[in-house]
Amino acid sequence: MNRCVELIASAREAFNRPTPAAIYQWIQHLDDEYSRHRYPELLIHQLTADDQRDSAFSVACLSAVHALKLALRLHLHTHFRRVMAAACVTRALHDQLEWWQQKGLTQASWCAAFGLQKPLRDSFYFSEWCLQLARFQLSPESEKFGIQQLVAGSQRSRYWLFAEQVRAPIDWTTGCLLTHKATEKQGYLLCTHNDHALLLLSDLNTVEKVDCRDFGYWQTSPSEMPSQPALQQLEYHRSLNQQLPSISFKAPKALLTAVKRYTAGQGALSPVIRHIRQQPLLANSLRQAARQQIIAANNPQRMDLKHIYLWLGGTRASATLATASLQQQFMQQRVPLQQSLMQRLSLLTELLQSLSTKTGSRLPVPASLLTLLTAADLFRNQQVLRASYWPQLEILRNADKAGWVATDEAPTDQRLSRQLIRRWQLERQLAPLMTPEQYQGHPLPALMSLANIGVVLAFQPDIKLSKSVHQHMQSCLKCLKLKPATYSRLRQQSIYRCHSISPLSELFNLQDE
């Protein structure tokens, strides 16, 4: 039995007597498999092979896969991603909110996906798109009108964001057989990217890259299903993602060069603004930073990017751009312990801000940026990449972030953090953190050490501190003139105020009650 069949069997078991808890548990299993292996995209061929194109069960399974795929591309938080996938399943099985509430459904965003709240929330549009896409791909002829209504109807603007994430013709599904109109060459669709697709040719040994400009020369063969050897080979290729992910943090070099030239007085501001406009995420981050400030003379809504950049100033604007860029890249990394790691980084951010406010020690950059810059090496830590659950330590032997998972006192490799700090031209501001031996008595290393230790104590209150870590913590408290009782109280307050870090997007403004 291949893994697609096993996944369908587990879905039948969960949907036999459906409850919100059982469905969410299956979605967790599906998300774990999809995030690491991607083979669930081939479920459509197993479902259509069973002649269940129009069944609610097939729509539920396929819409859940579409929901996870779309949520990953939009970088939604893990919990919200799973809630949206579960909402698609419940709507496909029984589209009555009251019926599910009798089964124990209370989660706010999940309930909002049924569309009974006015005004309609993003969760409704998200689930509606995934459901219509699943129905169309299972029955293209009969469901063509439904998908057209979404992209061309009165609410089309709410669905364009989702439609833009479809990187190929909407009737192309992973594993479908494509035929070149002129040469009659055939291949199975392996995956799609922004500007190309990869095809596994019919010999099952050769992978060919097809440019997006050539998509029009290929057509689907809906009547021909992939053979079992083809499915097995496709499943193998889709499963290659289970290997350790490639971790890379690419700084926008063109933007950084323009900023450096402008700061040094060797270039104009126009190239900086042009590069920012080319990346909507960075442009939105500047606008949001301006909205958070009190501007007496100007309305941020009416200011263009050039005026916002000048008003924020080069230092604050660069910090805002760096935070948005790194935050997006952190969410794009897919490591097995993604959710656990993000929870710890979120708490670290809150602890840094609380300690800074209490002690009066001003942070050189925003707490969120400081967290992102110093935590990058964790995404290359072998224990984080390979573990299935967060390591539980008996003794804390390190006061830096490597101590969160390390079992010895080995020196920490901060090569990636140093590289990012250099790229974003923050060496001067963060020099005390990178070379603390040259800045004896500076508060920044003490703040970071106490925050790192506080994160470990929050998740493992009974952990023992090694003699060196205990002495270091005492010296940090003395440096900041902080009492142990005050430090303990700040940790508790930070835990209460802590929220998960999420990128800048309207979809992340939904708070789950």
Here the CATH number for the domain that contains residue 205 is: 2.30.30
Nearest to 68 by CA among 76, 57, 59, 58: 76
pLDDT in the model for residue 242 = 39
Nearest to 285 by CA among 312, 262, 267: 312
Long-range contacts of 28-34 (CB under 8 A, 24+ apart): 28/82, 30/64, 30/65, 30/68, 30/85, 31/68, 31/78, 31/81, 31/82, 31/85, 33/3, 33/7, 34/65, 34/68, 34/69
Model confidence at 283, pLDDT cuts 50, 70, 90, reads confident
Q: Are residues 484 and 341 in the same domain?
A: yes
Q: Are residues 326 and 395 in the same domain?
A: no
Amino acid at 266: Q
Amino acid at 143: E
* Six token digits for residue 443: 């508060």
**In a domain? residue 170:** no
**In a domain? residue 171:** no
Q: What angle do CA 40, 507, 21 make, to 5 degrees?
A: 50
d(CA 291, CA 115): 31
Total tally of structural domains belonging to the chain: 4
Q: Are residues 183 and 148 in the same domain?
A: no
Q: What is the mean pLDDT of residues 173-194?
A: 82
**In a domain? residue 513:** no
Give the domain extent around 339.
335-506
Q: Are residues 80 and 211 in the same domain?
A: no
**In a domain? residue 279:** yes
Polymer length of the chain: 513
Domain boundary among 164, 199, 227: 164
Q: Are residues 199 and 286 in the same domain?
A: no
Nearest to 166 by CA among 122, 210, 197: 197
Summary mean pLDDT of the chain: 79
Domain boundary among 288, 311, 334: 334
d(CA 107, CA 122): 15
Q: Are residues 328 and 343 in the same domain?
A: no
Domain boundary among 317, 334, 351: 334
Q: Are residues 329 and 425 in the same domain?
A: no
**In a domain? residue 512:** no
Q: Are residues 88 and 98 in the same domain?
A: yes
**In a domain? residue 169:** no
Strand partners, 196: 211
Q: What is the mean pLDDT of residues 259-278?
A: 80
Q: Are residues 329 and 353 in the same domain?
A: no
**In a domain? residue 436:** yes
Q: Are residues 371 and 458 in the same domain?
A: yes
**In a domain? residue 444:** yes
Q: Are residues 322 and 445 in the same domain?
A: no
**418-447 pLDDT, tens per residue?**
888 887 778 888 888 888 888 888 899 999
Does the model's pTM come out above 0.75?
Answer: no
Give exposure, 483-510, as e/b (b: 16+ Cβ within 10 Å): eeeebeebbeebeeebeebbbbeebbeb
Most confident of the ranges 68-72, 123-127, 271-275, 304-308: 123-127
Q: Are residues 274 and 231 in the same domain?
A: no
Lowest mean pLDDT segment, chosen from 141-150, 155-164, 226-235, 308-317: 226-235
